[in-house]
Each structure stands twice: as C-alpha cells, then as structure tokens.
C-alpha cells in the first residue's frame, strides 16, 4: 500500500572512483532524503544511469535502499524494458526482493501503438500485486499515454498513479477532470514543480531534490498548506538549479550539486563523463550562487498543514 503523494526523489546512483557502487555515500544521501521528509524513494531513473547497471548492481541497490528505508518510506523500482517478457520478469523480481511499488515506462526503443502500449502495461499489472505509477514522457520516450489509454487501464486496480512529464501542465487538469481521484498525478518536471502542485498534482518526482531535499519538501508542504507566497520565494531561488534537471547532462549536473551539499560525489559511469570546460564552469557558477544565497527555511515539517 503506497500513499501516492508528496516528494519522491529519483535518486542518483553513487559510484566510487574505481566505478564500483559507493554504498556508503548512497546511504548518506538516502538518509538525508528521509530526514528531510520525502514520501518515497524511486530507484533506476531511466534518464539517469540505470541502463548502465548490471542486474547484480540493481539488486544490490534495491536491497540496500530497503535496509536504509526500513519501512519509513516506500521504495519504488523503475521498469524500462524492450520486451513485455523482460518487464514482467523485472516486476516479479522486484516483488520478491521486497520493493513496495513500481514505476513503469512504455516499451523502450520500439514506438508501440496505443493498443500495444495499453496491452504492455496491463500484462505487467496482471502479474504483480505491487502498486504502479505509469510514466508519461512523450518528449523523451516518444509515446504519449493518452486519456483514452488511461480509461482502458483504469480497470487494473494496481495502476494507481501517473508521473506526468508532457510539459503541458494543463494535462494534470484534464486527468483530474476525467478521472477525479482514480489516478494520483505527480509532476515529473522540476521546472514545473510548484505550478503542477498548485494545479492539483498530488506529488512531485523530483531530480534536484537529490542535492536539496529540504528545500524541495518545503515547497511541497507550503503549497499544500496554502502558503503559496512562502513556497514561491524558495522556488524562485531554486529555479536556476531546477533548470539543470532539464538537460541531457542532468546526471552530471545533479551530482555536482550533491557534492556542494555534501551528500554525493561527482563520479559517473561511462559513457557519461564529468562536465568539462565552459559548461562545467557555467554549472558550478549556478551552484555556487545558490549555495551563497540558500534560503532559511520555515519550520516546514511540524504542523505545516494546520493553517
């Protein structure tokens, strides 16, 4: 049972300089997320480094996250596969090792039809008891999960949420108008975080939260308590950082920010390489400015909704 709401970071994978998993730094980051008040942890971000991990490494990260979380927040596994057979296998394995939920993309590489995509999601849903969030990102993955497709999928009770990354913020309203509370909606675009929450999204699958968990959770809690002006002040400060998430080099950008806040390293896995030259200096300048002007947060965790 997952309560689909709040901030759920799509966490980065931590590596040592020798390209092995850095589980000590990974634990430090996950603990920082939980301490800040996030509502779940999402592993295996598909625009991140999940595709470079071996199956053994993926299982090690799942088990480590479950140990760290220790039931305090749900652990959700991303599924991005080329075949229905493999996706079902990943879903079943996630359930066996103890994951709390799944986030599922449409079929990868092949541009499936609407009918094929609906069938793909439904076949996975039928073979697991885990609650599911669908990931709707036609800009990066070329397949749109339409309202009509959601209508067909609504009969699958464990398909419960949608990560909405169309960049069309009004799609949140369309989903709510058509389905009410049948599907919980999360924004998946950092630069539309506050706007999406105001529009009615229940949550935010975030990227820069990996480096700035407290600021991200504060924005969510303040918006949901009606304290929009306070949330907006933090959000305006945050925006140059959030724009680092909307980039092919989002992993390198986020990891540089994690270094600045002391909860990550810059190590990436090839073919990704650390940022170089003018681009590196540009990103570091954004981070340095943000750190120098980092806002003092209100008491966003205690009785925040009692306004």
Whether residue 133 has pLDDT greater than 70 = yes
Q: Which residues contact 15 (CB under 8 A, 6 or more apart)?
A: 21, 22, 265, 267, 268, 269
Whether residue 165 has pLDDT greater than 90 = yes
Categorise residue 286: left if φ over 0, alpha if ψ from -120 to 50, beta otherwise.
alpha
pLDDT of residue 306: 46
The string of pLDDT tens digits covering residues 233-261 is 999 999 999 999 999 999 999 999 999 99
Percent residues over pLDDT 90 in the chain: 89
Architecture, CATH, for domain 6-292: Alpha-Beta Barrel (3.20)
| C-beta separation of 74 from 40 below 8 A | yes
Residue with tokens 């464990």: 158
Annotated domain spans of the chain:
6-292
The string of pLDDT tens digits covering residues 5-18 is 999 999 999 999 99
Give the pTM: 0.95
Give the model's confidence band at 48: pLDDT under 50 very low, under 70 low, under 90 confident, else very high.
Answer: confident
Output the CA–CA distances (angstroms, integers) from residue 178 to 105, 199, 200, in the order listed. 22, 15, 13
Average pLDDT over the chain, rounded to whole? Answer: 95
The string of pLDDT tens digits covering residues 134-163 is 999 999 889 999 999 999 999 999 999 999
Q: What is the DSSP string of the chain?
A: -----EEEEBPPPPB-TTSSB-HHHHHHHHHHHHHHT-S-EEE--TTTTGGGS-HHHHHHHHHHHHHHHTTSS-EEEEE--SSHHHHHHHHHHHHHHT--EEEEPSPSSS---HHHHHHHHHHHHHT--S-EEEEE-HHHHS----HHHHHHHTT-TTEEEEEE-SS-THHHHHHHHHHTTSSEEEE--GGGHHHHHHHT-SEEEESGGGT-HHHHHHHHHHHHTT-HHHHHHHHHHHHHHHGGGSSTTHHHHHHHHHHHHTS------TT-----HHHHHHHHHHHHHHHHTPPPPP--SSSTT--
Distance CA 77, CA 128 (A): 13
Distance CA 305, CA 26 (A): 31
| C-beta separation of 172 from 187 below 8 A | yes
Whether residue 123 has pLDDT greater than 60 = yes
């Amino acid at each position: 049972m997952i309560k689909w709401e709040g901030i759920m970071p799509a966490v980065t994978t931590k590596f040592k300089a020798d390209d092995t998993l850095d589980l000590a730094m990974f634990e430090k980051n996950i603990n920082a997320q939980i301490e800040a008040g996030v509502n779940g942890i999402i592993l295996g971000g598909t625009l991140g480094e999940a595709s470079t991990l071996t199956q053994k490494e993926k299982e090690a990260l799942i088990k480590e996250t479950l140990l760290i979380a220790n039931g305090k927040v749900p652990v959700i596994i991303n599924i991005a596969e080329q075949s229905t057979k493999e996706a079902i296998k990943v879903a079943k394995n996630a359930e066996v090792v103890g994951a709390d939920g799944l986030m599922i993309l449409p079929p990868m590489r092949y541009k499936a039809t609407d009918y094929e995509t609906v069938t793909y999601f439904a076949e996975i849903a039928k073979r697991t008891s885990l609650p599911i969030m669908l990931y709707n990102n036609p800009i990066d993955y070329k397949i749109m999960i339409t309202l009509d497709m959601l209508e067909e999928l609504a009969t699958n009770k464990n398909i419960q949420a949608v990560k909405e990354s169309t960049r069309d913020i009004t799609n949140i309203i369309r989903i709510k108008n058509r389905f009410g509370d049948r599907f919980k909606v999360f924004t998946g675009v950092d630069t539309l975080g506050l706007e999406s929450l105001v529009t009615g999204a229940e949550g935010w699958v975030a990227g820069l939260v990996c480096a700035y968990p407290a600021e991200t959770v504060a924005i969510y809690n303040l918006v949901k308590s009606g304290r929009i002006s306070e949330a907006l002040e933090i959000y305006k400060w945050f925006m140059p950082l959030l724009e680092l998430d909307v980039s092919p080099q989002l992993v390198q950008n986020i990891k540089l920010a994690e270094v600045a806040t002391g909860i990550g390293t810059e190590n990436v896995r090839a073919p990704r390489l650390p940022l170089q030259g003018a681009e590196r200096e540009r990103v570091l300048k954004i981070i340095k400015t943000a750190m120098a002007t980092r806002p003092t947060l209100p008491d966003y965790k205690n009785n925040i909704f009692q306004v």
